Structure 1
Amino acid sequence: MLKIIKVRLEEVKSAWPKELPNVLWVYRTLTRTPKGETPFKLTYGTEAVIPVEVGVTSMRIEAFHEEGNDDQLKVNLDCLDEVRKEASQKIARYQQKMVEYYNKRVKLRRLNIGDLVLCKVTQATEDPTQGKLEPTWKEPYKVIHYSRQGSYHLESMDGKKLPRPWNIEHLKKYHQ
């Protein structure tokens, strides 16, 4: 079983360099949702005809005239700044919609000065000697200052101020 997995992994590794140009071509010619344009069009000013389309009867292939192609490419390059500007506006609208969607669903939590909280143990704050059996929340701290949305300054129960602010997502209210 292990030998079969190793052989298949080697097959995948050897096939990947051969497939990379095809993968990149697909990536460059697919329309991106936020932009509404392909990376190819944003670079060259025109849509690419993919190899599959060349052998298939389609409107783009039927309407192609080689003698007018160069002139059309020049016009497309002249309009490239407009296409890029429109794509940039589409991205901004998309991002605004995402912000609105997030803000509708987010539940803001707020702590008051004097509240007791537990701090989540992160890689930066954990003791490496403890391993995975270490507690996930540290001792209660007291909220002493609220600096900006979701950022709190804390002090330990003996009055020692913590050196940096903590984000609300790493805090939970301590109930005695």
Structure 2
Amino acid sequence: MAFVSEAVSPIKVSLNSPRVEYFDSKASQEGIQLHNVLMEEIRDEAAMRVLQQQARTTAYFNKKVKVKQFLVEDLVLRESAASQSTITGKFKAPWEGPYQVTGVVAPETYRLSTLEGTPIKNAWNAIHVKKYFQ
């Protein structure tokens, strides 16, 4: 609803319809102010509902997430699609490695090196790395 009051046609104004005859500008202004106050409350309630829905959606998503944590010197495999996105094909190996975790940059972000000790250039997120079992 964009406007509080409705338009009155020129015919109704000229014929002195009850709507025009009993119009009270003070009551109209009070009604507009009341409507504005109520609109603020309605907006606040809608914002609260949006925040509640976002919290429910976040909780639903987070209950399915499995957190991967690796320690320094753990052996891991790296997802080959994340490191070489240009090489594609049906027979390409999905994982490469093993690599050794040499440092933790941030939660779920790791520095890797080869087994010989050569460091890998980039840091890797835990979603692109999985535990290597010998």
Which TM-score tier does this pair reach, normalised by the shorter chain?
0.5 to 0.7
Structure 2 gap segments, 5+ residues each: 5-18, 20-27
Give the TM-score taking structure 2 as reference length.
Answer: 0.63
Larger radius of gyration: 2
Cα gap change, 1:85/1:160 in structure 2, threshold over 3 Å: closer, same or farther?
farther
- The percent of aligned pairs where both chains have the same amino acid is 28
Structure 1 gap segments, 5+ residues each: 1-40, 47-66
Q: Residue in 1 aligned with 2:101?
A: 143
Give the TM-score taking structure 1 as reference length.
Answer: 0.50
| Aligned 1:15-30 pairs, distance under 5 A | none
More helix by share: 1
Query: Separation in 2 of the partners of 1:91 and 1:155?
Result: 45
Deviations 1:96-123 (A, max 9, x none): 222233333433232111011111122x
Aligned residue-pair number: 111
Residue type at the aligned position of 2:60: Y
Residue type at the aligned position of 2:59: E
Cα gap change, 1:81/1:158 in structure 2, threshold over 3 Å: closer, same or farther?
farther
Q: Which has the higher contact order (CA 8 A, sep 6+)?
A: 2
Computed over aligned residues only, the root mean square deviation of the Cα atoms, in angstroms, reads 3.1
| Aligned 1:22-61 pairs, distance under 5 A | 44=2
More strand by share: 2
Query: Separation in 2 of the partners of 1:139 and 1:133?
Result: 17
Q: CA deviation at 1:130?
A: 4.8
